[in-house]
Amino acid sequence: MNKTNTKIQIKNLHKAFNGKAVLSGINLSVAKGESLVIIGPSGTGKSVLIKNILGLIKPDQGKIYIDSIETTHLSESERQPFYTQMGMLFQGGALFDSLSVWENISFGLMESQKMPEDVAREEAISLLKAVGLSSKIADHSPADLSGGMQKRVSLARAVATKPKIMFFDEPTTGLDPIMAETINHLIIDNVKKLGATAVTITHDIHSASMIADRIAMLYDGKIVWEGTKAEFEKTKDPYILQMKNRSSKGPIGN
Amino acid sequence: MEHFLFSLGHFTLNVFETAGRFVSFLLKVIKSSVRPPFYPKLILKQFFRVGFYSLPVVGLTALFAGMVLALQTYSGFSRFSAEGAVSMVVVISMVREMGPVFAGLMVAGRVGAAMAAELGTMRVSEQIDALKTLAVRPFHYLVAPRVIATVLMLPLLTMVADIIGVFGGFLISVEQLGFNPAIYLQKTFQYLETIDVVSGLVKATVFGFFIAGLGCYHGYYSKGGAEGVGKATTLAVVSGSVVVLLMNYFLTELFFGA
Ligand SMILES: Nc1ncnc2c1ncn2[C@@H]1O[C@H](COP(=O)(O)OP(=O)(O)OP(=O)(O)O)[C@@H](O)[C@H]1O
Ligand SMILES: [Mg+2]
């Protein structure tokens, strides 16, 4: 892979919590404009991995490069320019409960891009429609929404500033299959249209093969399989086969 | 014995670690309070929550504090026929001690707890992380407005407490103890010095900084879901109240110590 074409690079990343190793030597890179999907069983550290990339968790060991700049040791203020070009959908939504739905969606637009309030509100409402929600909920509190609705509002918030790097932590979990399909398309559209780089975590194999250019599987603190979408479809790798077949027999869980 | 020494060492290390973390937290608070970005709207919002909505409880406690001061001083001082000093004792106790301490304790309970609960909830539900990814710095956006508002509002609340407290003493003295209102008031202000009032307001400013600092600190570093947030809230109130009383002693020593 050409160096200048690499958006995110992770080298030998280690992270343990209270002596319990979660990530033990991750090497992974994502090319500019590429959509990487990370799959893997529950509790293997997928969320921890992307929080490390975002600088929300400090790694114990290893280096992370964004646009070839090492970010692991940056201070909070040095990190600001990176955050302005990133968007993140948190697994739990993480909506601000002191703000209304539309204020959540346009938060980045108003606070960091200084967009005037009335324009930002219009923008928020059109994003609401894009994630399949009615503009009627714009003034509601996030706490009044269902889990699936919160997730979609959170997705709208993550893409509102048109970030160059997007992270989606289980964007379709908890949605009905039809809505999940809408969200898959929305992610593809956002990534392709904006030429953004995307890292998506999912348990949904169908969604993975729709969104991904490349797929990596995390298991037991390591990347155990990595390949293109075409390779993913053909591979006889026991880990991937077990995930695909939803089988309890195989290398995972033993 | 060895075990005991080990625990003692561990405990000491813990104390130093926590103290160090708190001090560096406070330094960061100061830095983010004086450097942009500023959020005037959020400071204004906190003004209301810290100042305006604390008025009833601070006013009520101050009123009764002033009333009880008058009663106690009268009953104590009449033993050596010094009833005439009641008005001076009330006003000096009120502005030097009772005003700032009671306002501080009430704000530690109301505001310190609310700050710990809010920031704690935001921490465990990843809202603080979300804020960072949206390129907004949590110290500037969440912590600084709360601390600034409390530092500015607590002296104002203290002034209100002083006035209401003195009024409470006046009420009891005139209505119940039979003092002449004009003479009582004249004596109230005759011996009052600027330093009495100023020292109380300085105390309030310091209390405000620590109450909000501790509330935000416990919330910001809370972990472990609802239980963690509950613990943070309790710690914020307890540590806030203790710090008010300790600081009160040292500041008094500083101002009036021999
Ligand atoms: N802040 C933290 N402190 C302590 N342990 C943590 C922390 N964050 C994550 N962990 C632990 O790290 C492990 C991996 O967690 P993570 O959330 O990354 O899993 P995941 O792969 O995203 O799982 P899921 O698919 O269920 O979301 C878990 O055992 C979790 O308990
Ligand atoms: Mg996860």
Asked if the C-beta of B245 comes within 8 angstroms of chain A's C-beta atoms, the answer is no
Write the pLDDT tens digit of every residue in A218-252.
Answer: 999 999 999 999 999 999 999 999 988 888 888 88
All structural domains of chain A with their residue ranges: 1-85+195-254
Number of residues that make up chain B: 258
Q: How confident is the model at residue A252, as a pLDDT?
A: 86
Q: How confident is the model at residue A190, as a pLDDT?
A: 87
Atom of ligand 1 nearest to the CA of B223: 1
Asked if the C-beta of A92 comes within 8 angstroms of chain B's C-beta atoms, the answer is yes
* Three-class SS state of A236: coil
- d(C-alpha B30, C-alpha B24), whole Å: 10
Q: Are A24 and A222 in contact (CB under 8 A)?
A: yes
Write the pLDDT tens digit of every residue in B10-65.
Answer: 888 888 988 999 999 999 999 999 999 999 999 999 999 999 999 999 999 999 99
CA distance A112 to chain B (A): 6
Which of A20-24, A185-189, B23-27, B105-109 is predicted least confidently? A185-189
Asked if the C-beta of B133 comes within 8 angstroms of chain A's C-beta atoms, the answer is yes
A interface test, pick of B124, B134, B146 with most A CB neighbours within 10 Å: B134
Residue B78 has pLDDT above 70, yes or no: yes
Q: How confident is the model at residue B146, as a pLDDT?
A: 98
Q: How confident is the model at residue A254, as a pLDDT?
A: 63
Q: How confident is the model at residue A245, as a pLDDT?
A: 86
Q: How far is CA B23 from CA A79, A237, B11, B50, B75, in A?
A: 23, 53, 18, 23, 46
Write the pLDDT tens digit of every residue in A18-77.
Answer: 999 999 999 999 999 999 999 999 999 999 999 999 999 999 999 999 999 999 999 989
Atom of ligand 1 nearest to the CA of A57: 1
Tell me the residue type at B153.
M
Using the beta-carbon criterion (under 8 Å), do A83 and B126 form an inter-chain contact? no
Asked if the C-beta of A94 comes within 8 angstroms of chain B's C-beta atoms, the answer is yes
All structural domains of chain B with their residue ranges: 47-250
Cα(B111) to ligand 1 centroid in Å equals: 33
Strand residues in chain A grouped as ranges (E):
6-17, 20-31, 35-39, 61-66, 69-70, 86-89, 165-169, 197-201, 214-219, 222-228
Q: How confident is the model at residue A192, as a pLDDT?
A: 86
Write the pLDDT tens digit of every residue in B114-129.
Answer: 999 999 999 999 999 9
- d(C-alpha B67, C-alpha B94), whole Å: 11
Confidence of residue B220 (pLDDT cuts 50, 70, 90): very high
Write the pLDDT tens digit of every residue in A71-108.
Answer: 999 998 999 999 999 999 999 999 999 999 999 999 99
Q: How confident is the model at residue B49, as a pLDDT?
A: 95
Residues with Cβ within 8 Å of B113's Cβ and at least 6 positions away in sequence, in order, are B215, B233, B236, B237
Which residues of chain A neighbour B130 with C-beta distances below 8 Å?
A: 88, 90, 94-96
Confidence of residue A194 (pLDDT cuts 50, 70, 90): confident
Q: What is the mean pLDDT of chain A?
A: 94
Of B121, B127, B133, the CB nearest to A86: B133
- The reported pTM is 0.93
In Å, how far from its chain's centre is CA A114?
A: 25
Domain A1-85+195-254 listed as CATH 3.40.50.300 = yes
Residue B159 has pLDDT above 50, yes or no: yes
Using the beta-carbon criterion (under 8 Å), do B127 and A92 form an inter-chain contact? no
What residue's CA is closest to ligand 1, atom 9?
A48
Mean pLDDT of A146-151: 93
- d(C-alpha B132, C-alpha B57), whole Å: 36
Residue A4 has pLDDT above 70, yes or no: no
Q: How confident is the model at residue A3, as a pLDDT?
A: 52
Residue A1 has pLDDT above 50, yes or no: no
> Of B152, B140, B139, B64, which Cα lies nearest the Cα of B111?
B152
Write the pLDDT tens digit of every residue in B162-217.
Answer: 999 999 999 999 999 999 999 999 999 999 999 999 999 999 999 999 999 999 99
